[in-house]
Amino acid sequence: MNHSYASLNRREALYGLGAGLGTVALNSMLKAVEAGATTGVAHHPAKAKRCIFLMMEGGPSHIDTFDPKPDLTKHHLKKFKRSGDMESAMSSGDRYFVKSPFDFIKAGRSGADISTEWHYLKEMVDDMCFYRGAQVDSVNHPTACYQLNTGNRFGGDPGIGAWVNYGLGTLNENLPGFVVLPRTSYPQGGAANWSNGFLPANFQGTPLRPTGSPILDLNPPQGVTRERQRKNLDLMSTLNKEHLGHRPERGELEARMNSYELAYRMQMEVPGILDFAGERKSTLEAYGIGDAKTEAFGRKCLLARRLVEQGVRFVQAYAGNWDSHDYIERAHGSLIRSVDKPIAALLGDLKERGMLDDTLVVWCGEFGRTADNGMRGGSTSYGRDHNPKAMTMWFAGGGTKAGHTIGATDEIGAEAVECVHHIRDVHVTLLHLLGLDDNKHTYYHAGRHKQLSQFGGQVISELLA
Amino acid sequence: MSLTSGLWAGEVTEGEKLFALKVKPLFAEKCHACHGDDPDKIKGDFNMLTRGALFKGGDSFAEEVVILGKGEESFLYLVTTRKEKDFEMPPKEADRLTEEEQGWIRDWIDHGAPWPDDKRIALIEEKYAEGEVVATSQALSADWQNRRYETTQLWAYRPLNAPDVPAGKNPIDWFIDKKLAEAGLEAAPDAEARHLIRRMSFNVTGLPPTPDRVKSFASAYAKHPGDAVKALADELMATPQYGEQFARHWLDVVRYADSAGFANDYTRPNAWRYRDYVVRAFNDDKPYNQFIREQIAGDEIDPADSEMLIATGFLRMGPWEQTGMSVFKETRQLWLDDVTDSVGQTFLAHAMQCAKCHDHKFDPVPTRDYYRMMAVFSTTQFSEREAPFLEEENRTGFAQSEEWVKAKIAGYQDQHARLLAKVKAQKTQESGEAKVGNNGLDPGDEASMSRLSKNLSRHKWELDRTRPIAFSVYTGNTIPVKSVSKRILLPNQPWGKGTMEQDRILAGGSAYSPTDPVTPGALSAAQSLGRMETHDFPAGRGSRRLALAEWISDRENPLTARVMVNRVWAWNFGKGIAGNPNNFGGTGAVPTHPELLDYLARWFMDNGWSVKKLNQLIASSELYRRSSRHPHPSQVRERDAKGRLYATLMPRRLTAEELRDAILWSSGELNLQVGGIPARPDINTEVALQPRQIMGGTASVYEPDTKPEHRNRRSLYAEKVRGLRDPFLETFNQPGPDKSCELRETSTVAPQSLTLFNTEEMQERSVAFAARLLAAGLNDLKTIDKAFELALGRMPSSSERSTCLKHWQAATQEEQGKIYKPKEFINWTERTVMAEKTGEPYSFIEFMPAFRNYEPDTQMADVDARTRGLSQVCLVLFNLNEFSYLD
């Protein structure tokens, strides 16, 4: 809650007001103040102006995607003993090592490690920066998802997209600045993963739903025409003006009236963005739209490109569920096939349009996976458990170091050992790439200046171009 | 004090004073963490521990760090101004130095940057230091222990200090008017009767007044405003809706929910009894000191009394779960942290979490206090305890609830049995090395097995909803559990199995880093500055929580009464006397009227800690009936720019719950039954059917209650599932139940308009309102009048009347001849989600027994064109600013 400011800088003052005004008023106000500036109020010049965050929910296995562990072949099916803090969480019954079912190659000029399942993405590795040093605190999905998305394991804090928009503002008055493309099934922890937390509500992630009404209640119930709506709005406006006339000093009343007009306009705008009719056939094909295997994520990737083109600052697209405790060959195999082509197309498309330089693309899950597995269903089924100590994430564009692999994990992929950073440093780095300084990008709430990294962190300079 | 001539040789210079009193403590607080504390990790090779080291500079600056006599040019000063790009120090915006603090460094350098030794510093401190040292339990660092606080920051810990109020004066007006007079600002006049009764009615009960009461109040108010307001306040407080409204405020603070959150988001089937306990407490005007004791230590007071067991549900309100994937030691610690912080915020307005890893940065709360308070709870254990229903508890709807839960279980069991048979028949031994799921099974079936058994667990637990069980605690040893998916029984021997936890300070807040032992206790600063008598806190098997409850509810505790009267004030006026009801520390807003706050706190305790009496006192003031509009707004802006003086009262928007309830009230559909098991209202269908993942599968689909009267209950009673929020309430700023909410936010965003203008629920409410109006059999003009009276508490103006009438007629015209098909309700749904084992989608059917005999609300198809036409006017009325905003 934001009842008292210790000190008000200009941005805070504006957004503080924004809490009571709604996006249009806020953005026009920002524009007036910035005198034509279109990039909001970044702390330092930055390459990345926007971000597409590909959230691989469930925890993809680094060992079976981008971080090969040939040693596991030697240990395959040998007994494994877990010790230390994680003991009680995943140590029931017998455990054994599991080798990756996939082959790996060194791809591109950079020779990046990649499993051969990635038929399309392997062509793009020279544009990507792989990072193997990140660690998180939680071994459970919802807490790990919250931590990845909001910095706080226990939920209730603003999502990264909310922080970015709070810092930079949106570029399109008629669209939300933070759009989420969830799967049909919401992740563990639900919509709190894209919450505005304690930031004003206009920074909340707006989910564009894959089925049904893209934005909840975007359209009136069946049988209500647009003309009928317009007439109702007009009656409302007449009566509201009478009421407002007696209370001219109450700005929030007028802001509320404007928000109805914005909602009315959104009814027109949003369907246009969702309509792919204007896209070339080859583009649709490239994203895998039209093929049942890739359709769902292909649509999300294409939509992400269209949204950032329209000025949306932060798009987060969900794919999954990567929680492959069993049958990793089959499960990870089909998941990779469902995202491989769309992601490669997205990177290629952004590049072709000259947008990859100033668009930061992030790919990661909430944690990585273990080198071992327990007995499942009384038999050995080759899968992997959750691993907060090691994971692979990758970045493309937006000022990241293309064609490099940064950091390393130990010989079985159990723990990061090189360029090791807590996830908070990844958050600080993301903000840095977008021109925001985590230590300055704070919001006074409940007696403390809160920040995405929670308590501050450092930029992982190795990731920067 | 003895001053040896050697040490005191020479007068103390300004520079020395600056260093000893300001600059040195500033270095310690803001700089040494990176530049001195850890000799192995000196950032930028710049060490600030000694004058010599500091003057040497570091990697980035050399002698230009300090240019003696030239503060303005010295980098040590410049970096603190944050104008040196990439060298803003300290790096965190949150730590930035104020201009005053920057000035100390500059001036110190101007004075030659003297650096007296420790002994001389001690003497300078003794002689010149301002501010106060606060006696606390022991700090982690000596510097912190001796640190000085600005006197104004310590207001909340001091004994109450309330001056007398002249006889015959209303104390509230006495204090408020004094400040207004000082500012030369005149108070706004009394509010208009219809605005005032609407505001009072919502404030006290969360509902609008009836048109008849508006009229009778107006005539009484015209004669004797004070008497009329007092009578109305008493009348409203005598309704059960008063307890509901005040309970909602309290439940915001304690984060009430009917589910546990996180991966499984299991139901908390008995939490509702705590919600009703809070409603009862306000309606029965339970003395607040007793309310405190029961919630913290009811089970230790009288475990045979159901009420006492139910009350302790407070301790378990935060999100918490233990699954096979979590480490018990960590989840146990998570709860200990949660309850320590929650008790601190709720009763003492202290966010204790700030002292978890280090001594508090701003307040006199050492880390030791945090762990002393945590030690109070280290013998507190969870249990769903037998607690016979009280006569006051509402047990209606038990049969329907049980019927529905059993139908859910039967449905899942049936599916499960059929699936099991299929799986048994189909399952084959996996072959060969490459075990990739060639076991003959359809992966969707495998996923469904796990999904069904998870949902069975949830609903079986839900059978407890109607059983005489309290969501409660007991005192005993800690027994680690692997996972919790059903009620936790009370062990026969609370001190038998398990171990007694060691109470220790945890370094960095980590459960794996125990350090110094501690004994149970509370806030030592409140004790010392508040001049409280020492309380004994038992350790071992003693009643630790009861001791804490006694300490908190001690009349001499400087925080407790202040915190509660400030909350009650905020619930009446929309803002606290102290601006942050959850934070009375140095970072919270200081009280605008400290004498008034203290007077009310003393008065509150002298009047039996009675919240109703406090409300009556507030209602007896002239302030309470003040208008929200001032005849000279520019005068207010000029003389009270920050709006602190109460020349007018704050207008406000209805909260999410008030808005929904008021709509149902106007449409005539609101069921005012008090208490009972959670209601399941209709929520947006797409959200209801939206699959959401839980551990091991997909959560069972949301189903509304079968009958309208169950669905259309007050929003307070709507089932609160952490992982599935009602989009209507969420959109209108209902806070999430994971963090304590001291006061509601009010933001205006486009989705609110979509919700209020486009949802089926709003269409249904509008149709029901129209049908209700027409059922009265009035002529058209009188029907419009009635609509305004019910929705807005007033008659329309003649132009409003004719505009609305025209709108109605035109809409009716449009509706003529339109055919609406009655909505069909299907008792199953097909959902498609991803199978974890294969990463491929699969579909399944889920049965929704609630729709077997679902009784819909009034729909478009049920009514004629004239009613549908009028419903368009009704929809507009619900959407008006005037409907949502109180003057």
pLDDT tens sequence across B257-297 = 999 999 999 999 999 999 999 999 999 999 999 999 999 99
Residue B816 has pLDDT above 60, yes or no: yes
Residue B105 has pLDDT above 80, yes or no: yes
Residue B8 has pLDDT above 70, yes or no: no
Predicted pLDDT at B40: 83
- Residue A226 in domain: no
- Local structure of A409: helix, strand or coil: strand
Min Cα–Cα distance to chain B from A362, Å: 21
Least CB-CB distance to A331: which of B739, B752, B839? B839
- Residue B451 in domain: no
Residue B431 has pLDDT above 70, yes or no: no
Q: Indicate yes or no: CB of B733 within 8 angstroms of CB of A201.
A: yes
**In B, which residues are within 8 Å of A220 by CB distance?**
757-758, 763
Q: Indicate yes or no: CB of A442 within 8 angstroms of CB of B93.
A: yes
- Which residues of chain B from 602 to 631 reach within 8 Å of chain A, CB to CB? 629
Please say which residue of B129, B161, B181 terminates a domain.
B129
Least CB-CB distance to B759: which of A209, A217, A449? A217
How distant, in Å, are the alpha carbons of A234, A282, A299, B576 from that of A286? 46, 6, 11, 59
Residues B727 and B751 in one domain: yes
**In B, which residues are within 8 Å of A338 by CB distance?**
839
Residues B548 and B564 in one domain: no
Q: How large is the ipTM?
A: 0.88
Per the structure, the complete domain to which residue B593 belongs is given by: 171-242+557-653
* Phi-psi map region of A158: left, alpha, beta (phi>0 left; psi -120 to 50 alpha): beta
Residues B222 and B355 in one domain: no
Q: Is residue B818 within 8 angstroms of chain A, CB to CB?
A: yes
Least CB-CB distance to A440: which of B93, B443, B834? B93
Residues B347 and B327 in one domain: yes
Q: Indicate yes or no: CB of B690 within 8 angstroms of CB of A260.
A: no
Predicted pLDDT at A92: 58
Least CB-CB distance to B583: which of A89, A201, A446? A446
Predicted pLDDT at B432: 52
pLDDT, average across residues B13-17: 89
Identity of the highest mean pLDDT range in A75-79, A450-454, B388-392, B736-740: B388-392
Spatial separation of the C-alpha atoms in residues B685 and A205, rounded to whole Å:
21
**In A, which residues are within 8 Å of B727 by CB distance?**
216-217
Spatial separation of the C-alpha atoms in residues A37 and B691, rounded to whole Å:
42
Cα-Cα-Cα-Cα dihedral sign, residues A133, A134, A136, A140:
negative
Predicted pLDDT at A90: 59
Residues B228 and B258 in one domain: no
Predicted pLDDT at B215: 97
Paired tokens of B839: 């990463």
pLDDT, average across residues B97-114: 90
Predicted pLDDT at A222: 82
Per the structure, the complete domain to which residue A404 belongs is given by: 10-217+280-463
Min Cα–Cα distance to chain A from B326, Å: 5
Q: Indicate yes or no: CB of A23 within 8 angstroms of CB of B750.
A: yes
pLDDT, average across residues B141-153: 85
Min Cα–Cα distance to chain A from B162, Å: 25
| Three-state secondary structure of B770-795 | HHHHHHCCCCHHHHHHHHHHHHHCCC
- Which residues of chain B from 241 to 270 reach within 8 Å of chain A, CB to CB? 261-263
Question: Among A34, A38, A57, A59, which residue's Cα sits nearest to residue A49?
Answer: A38
- Residue A130 in domain: yes
Q: Give the total number of structural domains in chain A.
A: 1
pLDDT confidence of B391, banded at 50, 70, 90? Answer: very high
Residues B270 and B376 in one domain: yes
Q: Indicate yes or no: CB of A221 within 8 angstroms of CB of B760.
A: yes
Residues B726 and B816 in one domain: yes
Chain A, nearest residue to B812 by Cα: A228
A445: part of which helix (H) or strand (E)?
A: strand A443-445
Predicted pLDDT at A42: 79
Is B257 within 8 Å of B221 (Cβ atoms)? no
Residue B660 has pLDDT above 90, yes or no: yes
What is the rounded end-to-end Cα distance, in angstroms, of chain B? 62
Best to test chain A binding among B266, B749, B752, B870 (most A CBs inside 10 Å): B749
- Residue B382 in domain: yes
Q: Is residue B304 within 8 angstroms of chain A, CB to CB?
A: no
Chain B, nearest residue to A99 by Cα: B434
**In A, which residues are within 8 Å of B686 by CB distance?**
209, 212-213, 216
Weakest-pLDDT range from B73-77, B245-249, B800-804: B73-77
pLDDT, average across residues B305-317: 98
Question: Among B79, B356, B95, which residue's Cα sits nearest to residue A438?
Answer: B95
Q: Indicate yes or no: CB of A4 within 8 angstroms of CB of B838.
A: no
Is B668 within 8 Å of B214 (Cβ atoms)? no
Residues B186 and B257 in one domain: no
Please say which residue of B524, B552, B580 terminates a domain.
B552
Please say which residue of B129, B152, B181 terminates a domain.
B129
Predicted pLDDT at B352: 93
- Residue A392 in domain: yes
Rounded-to-10 torsion of CA B505, B507, B510, B513: -90
Least CB-CB distance to A232: which of B583, B860, B872? B872
- Residue A441 in domain: yes
Q: Supply the CATH number for residue A432's domain.
A: 3.40.720.10
- Residue A227 in domain: no
Residues B729 and B871 in one domain: yes
Q: Indicate yes or no: CB of A139 within 8 angstroms of CB of B325.
A: yes
Least CB-CB distance to A324: which of B575, B818, B836? B836
Name which residue leads in pLDDT, B137 or A17: B137
Q: Indicate yes or no: CB of B580 within 8 angstroms of CB of A3.
A: yes
Beta bridge pairs of residue B832: B843
Chain B, nearest residue to A243 by Cα: B882
Is A111 within 8 Å of A364 (Cβ atoms)? no
- pTM beyond cutoff 0.90: no
Residues B596 and B509 in one domain: no
Residue B392 has pLDDT above 90, yes or no: yes
- Residue B96 in domain: yes
Residue at B657: amino acid letter: E
**In B, which residues are within 8 Å of A443 by CB distance?**
none
Q: Is residue B328 within 8 angstroms of chain A, CB to CB?
A: yes
Q: Indicate yes or no: CB of B580 within 8 angstroms of CB of A1.
A: yes
Report pLDDT digits (tens) over B503-523.
999 999 999 999 999 999 999
Residues B522 and B590 in one domain: no
Average pLDDT, 10 consecutive residues per value, chain A (465 residues) = 31 32 35 33 87 97 97 88 58 78 96 97 98 94 94 90 91 85 88 88 86 87 90 97 90 89 85 90 96 94 95 94 88 95 98 97 97 67 89 97 97 96 97 94 83 93 96
Min Cα–Cα distance to chain B from A315, Å: 19
pLDDT, average across residues B135-153: 87
Residue at A421: amino acid letter: H
Is B253 within 8 Å of B739 (Cβ atoms)? no
Least CB-CB distance to B589: which of A4, A256, A322? A4
Spatial separation of the C-alpha atoms in residues B623 and A246, rounded to whole Å:
22
Min Cα–Cα distance to chain B from A353, Å: 32
Packed helices B544-552 and B367-376: angle between N→C axes, nearest 10 degrees:
120
Residues B746 and B873 in one domain: yes
Residue at A298: amino acid letter: G
- Residue A272 in domain: no
Predicted pLDDT at A89: 54
Least CB-CB distance to A253: which of B512, B692, B881? B881
Q: Give the total number of structural domains in chain B.
A: 4
- Residue B449 in domain: no
**In B, which residues are within 8 Å of A324 by CB distance?**
836-837, 839
Residue B402 has pLDDT above 50, yes or no: yes
